[in-house]
Chain A
Amino acid sequence: MSQPKIIEMNKVSTIYEGEKTPALFDINLSLNEGELVCIIGPNGAGKTTLLETLNGLLPHTKGEIRILGQDIKKKGIYLRKQIGYLPQEFTVDPLTPFLVKDIILMGRYGQIGLLKKIPKNDYILMEESLKLMGIIDLKDRPIGKLSGGQLQKVMLARVFAKKPALLFLDEPFSNLDYHTTHRVILQISRAHDQNHWTTLLVMHDLNLIPERCNRILYLEDGRIVKDDIPEKVLTEKLLEISVR
């Protein structure tokens, strides 16, 4: 018997409201638990759309999506508690009335559930993930007063603290400096292994694809054009067209 699939997409299409052409077209995909998959492709290929369709933030218009064996349309709220999602280019306005520690804890609110107090352990997880990202000194800073890179680290710490079963990261390095990027890649790979996560990582810089990555999806015009092990996908030609 084959291993149970953690993600199953069956002929999935997504059309944005008011648009005619689907941003995702007829996607078939199945992922095993523990895979670390990189998603690449040119701007507008549908990478972000794929992640948001998978976690149900964008309703798909055709096909079926099962995550952890459950239909995302029916069990969306339950499933999103198991998914750590880092959106692309998240920004906040400078007056945003929340502190960094609140933002990290909030990532866990869905799991904690309605009418429940925040458990002590959640504060420990919050501190741990801040330390992991090397930003424990930002803990009591207002979120609106951070640099782009600091904010990105906070959002990464937020998904780490969530301890999800699946991790969806949309260009998590876009604002990080060279050294931080490499450290974060290492931490993602390590945490991925330690926690038995299934990780989807959208990125542009093919030089940064983690060693641990076992599979690459190449998207173009809303379709998965290639889906294979890194060595096969990263042919010279692809490198040429997709490096920014």
Chain B
Amino acid sequence: MSLTIFTILPLKTLVIILAGTCLAGVVCSLMGTFIVRMKLTSLGFCMSHAAFAGSALGLALSLPPLWFALAFSILVALILGPLTEQSRLQPEIILGILFSLTMALGLTFLNFIPDSALSSTAMSILWGSILGISSLEVWYLAILTFSITLIIILFFKEFQAIAFDRKMAEASGIPTRPFYYLILFLTGITVAFSLKLVGGLLIFALIVNPASAAYQFFHDFKKILIFSPLFGIFFSLSGLVLSFLLDLPVGSAIAIVSSVGFGISVLFSPKRRKG
């Protein structure tokens, strides 16, 4: 396949694809700003594996995979949230176990998917398939992106204080627990809704990489919240182009492009001493 695909596709399909790619880039990297800062990356990985397992189960039962993905990733947030809140427990161990368990469940459920569906749909939840995305799914993503942006603007003070230091935020009189769970919950939804596009195995690249790149450049949290989604759009669109050029699954292409992007941002980061 090559870039001629952009000229062959009907305009409407092209718009859906581009909108879906941009929206997923924005919403994933917005949540990534918090996930990276609050050191919740392993928890996020678990959520995306769980969403993948949920999706696979949905397909195996011939029920809507999206809602199963959603239920699974939120379940992980509800189980792991309280564990990560306690400093005494070592959540890494439990995360490590869940990490492989959710993946194993996902792969097991894949085995039960009726043969007819296996080829395309099942592979799409693993690796992502931009061509399989429907306009309804893009609308969901648009509503989600809008809601998350609105929530961040409305509670900017609280999110900012918690992103600095949760204990200090609590000491200043902010009820941090509801906001902590809100972040986990919104990440779960984001993962579930972007799954189809990037795939369960690699969606986390789109959450972690743009945000990590933005953290290399700025000392101001506001700027990071603006540039992280811009990097997200840039990485996911370049990934899309790369996937058509080299005939790669779109998830892999985005993961490669965004990792390279992060590498470059570290090299050029004004925050690091050169020499």
Contact = CB atoms under 8 A, between A and B. Distances in A.
Binding between chains A and B: yes
Interface of A: 16-18, 55, 57, 77-83, 85, 87, 90, 92, 94-99, 102-103, 106-112, 114-115, 118, 142, 144, 162
A95 B215 CA distance: 8
Contacts of A77: 173-175
Interface stretch (B94-102, B115-123, B164-172, B201-209): B164-172
A142 B219 contact: yes
B274 interface: no
B173 A111 contact: yes
A55 B88 CA distance: 21
Contacts of B175: 77
Given A106-B164, A114-B158, A97 B173 contact: no
Name which of A16, A90, A107, A110 has the most chain B CB atoms within 10 A of its CB.
A110
Contacts of A81: 172-173
B41 interface: no
Contacts of B174: 77, 109-110
A99 B220 contact: yes
Contact of B215 (A16, A17, A97): A97
Contacts of A142: 219
B224 A57 contact: no
Given A81-B172, A98-B160, 18 more contacts: A17-B86, A83-B171, A90-B168, A97-B37, A97-B220, A98-B164, A98-B219, A99-B219, A102-B164, A103-B164, A106-B169, A109-B160, A109-B173, A109-B174, A110-B169, A111-B173, A114-B158, A115-B154
Given A97-B218, A102-B221, A110 B173 contact: yes
Given A96-B164, A97-B218, A112 B224 contact: no
Contacts of B171: 55, 57, 80, 83, 85, 87
Contacts of B215: 95, 97
A74 to B, nearest CB: 13
B174 to A, nearest CB: 5
B155 A97 contact: no
Nearest to B269: A95
A166 B183 CA distance: 31
Contact of A118 (B88, B157, B163, B168): B157
A110 B86 CA distance: 23
Contact of A110 (B37, B88, B172, B218): B172
B71 interface: no
A97 B219 contact: yes
A18 B220 CA distance: 38
Interface string B134-157: 000000000000000000001101
A126 to B, nearest CB: 14
Contacts of A94: 271
A114 B154 CA distance: 8
A80 B168 contact: no
A96 B88 CA distance: 24
A97 B221 contact: yes
Interface in B67-88: 86, 88
